[in-house]
Amino acid sequence: MELVGFVHVSNTFNERLIARVYKRVNAYFKSKNLPIRLVYLGELELGPGYLVNIQTENGNVKGYPLEGVTELLHAKLIHTQEEIMEKRKTREEKNENKNNNVSKMNKIFGILNFPIVSRNPYLDFYEKFLGIQQDFHELKVMVLSIKPFEDNDEKVFEKRLFKGILHEVGHAFGLNHCQEDCVMNPPKVIGEWDLRRDDFCERCFVELKRNVKWKED
């Protein structure tokens, strides 16, 4: 089983909605017989010093620096891996590890309320990201801001977020962007996202299913 650590960053609102989407994503993976599960790892604390103020034509906007968030998520994943190894070692010492289908966790997903921003290395302006997946050698970090998905209709909000999580998880398992009616087809505007099916297209699903298969080391 492929376990994906799931944390929400401090100052993330809509906890109940996020909890519903979390359950919905796991139910989706189970219904599709995909050996992937989100595992809730709690809240990741970010102090107010992490927030940066950006001047835009629409006024002052707060955002989290991409580099700071991904580094903290990377550290959280390493710490979680160490805890898993300690528990596994204890079970082995007690001869309790009788199941050969050992789960692993080398991916982590962070969800936050404020936009994700990064300074362009060549020009003096900030780029904003909806979500991003970044590799740290064999470890993969995913970050998603819920800000662009917000809507007064919670059902619309929930469906947008569900698709966003599937999109980033797809990237973590090697999927590229798609041109079909698929969650891997990124929208130019949020209205396009509402029209996307809340599923992978057949080609992306086949590739995802192939990529999640792994053999125990």
What is residue 75's predicted lDDT score, i.e. its pLDDT?
93
For residue 217, give the 3-state DSSP assignment: coil
Residue 31, pLDDT score: 96
pLDDT for position 127? 60
Read off the DSSP letter of residue 65. E
State residue 215's pLDDT score.
39
Sole residue written with tokens 């989407």? 21
Q: Which amino acid is at 39?
A: V
Q: How far is CA 149 from the centre of its chain?
A: 14
Any idea of the CA torsion for 28, 166, 109, 116, to the nearest 10 degrees?
-150
| Domains in the chain: boundaries | 2-212
Place of tokens 């904003």: 128
Least confident of 21-25, 27-31, 51-55, 100-104: 100-104
Q: Which CATH class for the 2-212 domain? A: alpha beta
Q: What is the pLDDT of residue 201?
A: 97
Banded model confidence at residue 216, pLDDT cuts 50, 70, 90: very low
Q: How many residues does the chain have?
A: 217
pTM for the full model?
0.86
